[in-house]
Chains A and B, each alone.
Chain A
Amino acid sequence: MKEESKDKSKETKKRNKSLIIDGIKYKTRLSPKYEKKKKYVAKDIRDITAFIPGTILDIFVSTAQEVKKGDPLLTLEAMKMHNILRSPIDGKIKEIKVKKNTHVVKNELLIVLE
């Protein structure tokens, strides 16, 4: 464990030394904010996630159920508003990751479609 974190810090140090722009490698320091930035992950349209943290008030679908684009999937209560999340595609419910009356954080995976 210790060895691993040591390796990691070495790697960070190495990375900190340069920045490539238009194919040219510049020797430079990185800013703390730049180092903290998260890697981009492309979003899969079939993953229904919480766009805001809140509570699951109601789930309208069950596993293996066929859904049409626009069908309501669940109600997410946040900031005193009842938000109905709808299916973005015609498809089938592969997995429901949450239960009624549970709290979810932002970007938490709620339902997987297929």
Chain B
Amino acid sequence: MGLRSKTLELRKRMREAASGGGKKAIEKQKAGGKHTARERILSLLDKNSFQEYDLFVKHAGRDFNMDKKYLPGDGVITGTGTILGHPVAIYAQDFTVAGGSLGWAHAKKITKIMDHAIKMKIPLIGINDSGGARIQEGVNALAGYGEIFYRNTLASGIIPQISVILGPCAGGAVYSPALTDFVFVVDKVSKMFITGPEVIKTVLGEEISMEDLGGAKVHAETTGNAHFYAESEEACFEQIKQLVTYIPWNNEKKASPYPAKLPNTRKYKIEKILPANEKLPYDVRDIIKGIFDASEFFEVMELFAPNIVIGFARLSGKTIGIVANQPAVLAGVLDVDSSDKAARFIRYCDAFNIPLVTFVDLPGYLPGIDQEHAGVIRHGAKILYAYSEATVPKLTVILRKAYGGGYIAMSSIHLRADFVFAWPTAEIAVMGAEGAANIIFRKEIKEAEDQEAMRQAKIKEYKDNFANPYVAAAYGHVDAVIEPKDTRKVLIHSLGISDNKEVDIPKRKHGVPPF
């Protein structure tokens, strides 16, 4: 046989192995509004950039007559490619082959591409669409999951890890995405749970639909397992592409710079957005858009704990991680979910050299029995830990309220923010004027002839003297009080001079954060 015929044989073998689970299975996959694994990879990666590996790997099942079965690619496609020029390692489980079930060889293909990603220091993208462990392979299937989880943990903070849930991801399998940095879900396609609706019904007698138990919306809104929610697979791929442009390839690099662009300050006039009355709401995202490049803000976990806003934007072309209280929802309070949400994001940015800018406007922590019992103490502690631990440049802008524990938690100078700026509207105080006046002047109010008039007088007195940025500025807890319109200029300046920031941290194996 000559080269020509050998090449033709290779092509035939490749066609066979890349055929997936056959026509019928593919039709079924498509009928459910889903793409095939190969289509997903190709639509995510730059054209002609995909190089596949381990196409000819055979499955390792030997029992229950599995050795007589042929499973193309063993139900997973692995390879490398680029997204808008950024290199990535990628794998996609193929539901058309044995339900995308995970056996030993399937897992080996995944761990091999993970090892490459860790070694080459490039982001890893995993597309999950699998019925779970391949039962016929028994403990070897479990071993496969364990090997993946170990590598997810090993790679954490070294390379960005992205999980895309495009089908079922149930039982133990959920823990790989849970260990990664960003989880993407798609409406009606993603399903994630430890125990499914059927088991819950038989064991517990409780009935719930798959969608209500572990659908995309539930994970985006209620559990906080998902970071990005999309209506379709196409929209999801666009989100992934956008994310890849904001983050660096690994923990030794900075995010790729983009050309600087001015914000649309006519549409987002920040002096006009903020109501001076501290009791009135506004959308803090409009302030962000009025400051950062091109008025673009790429929000992370938009639907979960919307009382805090996190996400990426660019300042003079450089990626910034933003954390901001959202007065439009729950007055912007810190609570169990918002602390957890912000803390993990802060740690992500710190691990990947992304400077943090924090916008503060909160009345404190959310009061409530449910909050106390849900552990707002230990969850709230996460945000203190994350800010204190972070060594990337940390800039803080106090827009309005910074009361009590909330003031300390939100990247205060005491947790080693590098520069804290306050707008003239800032109220940095131990609590709101009403509450403080009631405590401090309790005696005067009680003894007054007209108690209500005295209360109002004392509230005003407290407001005039303490509800401002100047008390904190007098002690140096605030570095500068700035005019709102200068915010962008000031942030660009401080970011520029923080570029070579170095912090000496005491040597230790690792800290013990409250999680």
Residues on A facing B (Cβ under 8 Å): 19, 21-34, 37-38, 40, 53, 79, 103, 105-106
Contacts and interface: CB of A to CB of B under 8 A. Distances in A.
B364 A33 contact: no
Interface in B97-121: none
A26 B280 CA distance: 6
A76 to B, nearest CB: 13
27 contacts: A21-B363, A22-B403, A22-B404, A22-B431, A22-B432, A22-B434, A23-B432, A24-B279, A24-B432, A25-B279, A26-B281, A26-B327, A26-B363, A28-B281, A28-B327, A28-B330, A29-B281, A29-B328, A29-B329, A31-B306, A31-B307, A31-B329, A33-B222, A34-B330, A37-B368, A40-B370, A53-B205
B435 interface: yes
Contacts of A21: 331, 333, 363-364, 366-367, 432
Contacts of A23: 432, 434-435, 438
B204 interface: yes
B330 A22 contact: no
B337 A27 contact: no
B172 to A, nearest CB: 17
B305 interface: yes
Interface residues of B, number: 35
Contact of A22 (B203, B221, B363): B363
B31 interface: no
B369 interface: yes
Contacts of B486: none
A15 B432 CA distance: 22
Interface of B: 203-206, 221-222, 279-281, 305-307, 327-333, 337, 363-364, 366-370, 373, 403-404, 431-432, 434-435, 438
Nearest to A53: B204
Nearest to A24: B432
Contacts of A53: 203-206
Contacts of B330: 19, 28-31, 34
A26 B363 CA distance: 9
Given A19-B330, A29-B281, 15 more contacts: A19-B333, A21-B331, A21-B366, A21-B367, A22-B363, A22-B434, A26-B281, A27-B279, A28-B328, A28-B330, A31-B307, A33-B222, A40-B369, A103-B205, A106-B204
Nearest to A22: B435
B137 to A, nearest CB: 25
Nearest to B338: A31
A101 to B, nearest CB: 14
A30 B335 CA distance: 13
Contacts of B222: 32-33
Contacts of A19: 330-331, 333
A37 B370 contact: yes
A34 B306 CA distance: 11
A31 B404 CA distance: 23
Given A21-B364, A33-B337, A37-B370, A28 B329 contact: yes
Interface centre among A22, A27, A34, A38 (most CB of B within 10 A): A22
Nearest to A26: B331
| Closest 3 A/B residue pairs (Cβ) | A22-B435, A26-B331, A40-B369
Contacts of B206: 53, 105
B205 A24 contact: no
Given A32-B221, A105-B206, A106-B204, A24 B435 contact: yes
Nearest to B279: A26
A72 B132 CA distance: 41
A33 B434 CA distance: 28
Nearest to B332: A28
